[in-house]
Amino acid sequence: MSAFLRASAVRSGNFDIQVWWKGADGTHLSPSSGSNFAPVAGQWVRVSATFTVPAGAYRMCFVIDFDGSTPVWQAGDTLDSTGLMVTSGSTLYNYADGNTPGWTWTGTPNASTSARIRR
């Protein structure tokens, strides 16, 4: 998975990329931790991590956890995200959706997931 993130301020500490997994019955499965990254105030940073999907996983939740100390994040500080992609394998693709050449929508255009066309 990959995403672009932008912090409004630099604080002491790092962000940890995590994926929380749920089974079809709603039970929580073991979370997966990925890589850490340090925020850069006002700049978009592409982050990525590779996870192994646990057996029985039905749903995933992408989580950014801040493990900072001082100064702590303050009211008004923001973390923006865009371009979240979850793909099979460890290849880091450029951002794409179903309107991108070589990709297709798996359902309703602009309202469903998209997938890379394999030939």
Tally the C-alpha atoms within 13 A of residue 75's C-alpha that lie toward its C-beta.
0
DSSP state, residue 24: T
* Predicted pLDDT at 44: 92
What confidence tens digit (pLDDT) does each residue in 71-85 have?
667 788 888 988 888
Which pTM does this prediction carry?
0.76
Cα–Cα–Cα angle for 63, 65, 69, rounded to 5 degrees: 175
Q: Within 13-73, where are the H helices? A: none
Contact of 20 with 63, CB cutoff 8 Å: yes
Q: Quick one: average pLDDT of 33-41?
A: 76
Sheet holding 32-37, edge to edge: 32-37, 15-23, 57-66
Q: Which two tokens stand for residue 65?
A: 């956890």
pLDDT band at residue 69 using 50, 70 and 90 as cut-offs: low
Q: How far apart are CA 52 and CA 56, in angstroms?
A: 12
